[in-house]
């Protein structure tokens, strides 16, 4: 996985390659610029949440890739870019969501996310040298419709959680969860059907 730095003319497609799961370096100037812009917009959204709900909704819609009708998020929200985060209609997201959206994160309709849920699409190489050279990659996360993620649940890169499933508080989801089940633990394991 060791690679040499990209020439500037090849950086134009860095976001497409990142979202496709190809290696990238997080210290790329364009990546840093977009992350700063997302943090500024997220900070404006947090301020607006306390003062003007209409402005807050507009800022959130600008920050995210898509935002469904009737969806509610409670601040704060931590994202890498925001534009790769898609949240379906009527979903409720409690305080402190961390959504590292290097690759796409898709949250379905009618979901409930407890406080301090983490959705982490980036991964790092196991080999020491590429890690030292700051190489990363990412895989998308997909959360189906009517999913409940308990407080503090952690969902890792490449995971899909099926419709109607429940993930217990504090669980670490390292592998796909099928539809219509309860999964708990570290690593999360299916404990029963619904």
Which residues are designated catalytic?
Answer: 124
How many CB atoms lie under 10 A from the CB of residue 171? 23
Q: What is the separation of C-alpha 110 from the centre of its chain, rounded to a whole number of angstroms?
A: 17
Q: Widest CA span of the chain, in angstroms?
A: 52
Residue linked to tokens 């895989």: 139
In angstroms, the Cα distances linking 71 to 50, 112, 142, 178, 183 are 17, 10, 17, 24, 25
């Amino acid at each position: 996985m060791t690679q040499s730095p990209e020439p500037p003319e090849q950086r134009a497609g860095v976001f497409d390659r990142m979202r496709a799961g190809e290696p990238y370096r997080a210290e790329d100037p364009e990546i840093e610029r977009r992350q700063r812009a997302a943090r500024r917009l997220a900070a404006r959204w947090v301020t607006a949440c306390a003062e003007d709900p209409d402005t807050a909704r507009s800022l959130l819609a600008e920050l995210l890739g898509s935002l469904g009708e009737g969806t509610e998020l409670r601040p704060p929200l931590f994202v890498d870019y925001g534009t790769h985060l898609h949240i379906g209609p009527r979903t409720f997201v409690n305080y402190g969501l961390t959504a590292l959206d290097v690759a796409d994160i898709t949250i379905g309709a009618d979901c409930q996310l407890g406080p301090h849920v983490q959705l982490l699409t980036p991964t790092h190489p196991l080999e020491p040298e590429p890690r030292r050279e700051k190489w990363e990659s990412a895989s998308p996360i997909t959360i189906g419709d009517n999913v409940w993620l308990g407080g503090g649940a952690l969902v890792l890169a490449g995971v899909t959680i099926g419709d109607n499933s429940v993930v217990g508080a504090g669980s670490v989801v390292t592998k796909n969860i099928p539809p219509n089940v309860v999964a708990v633990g570290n690593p999360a394991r299916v404990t029963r059907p619904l």
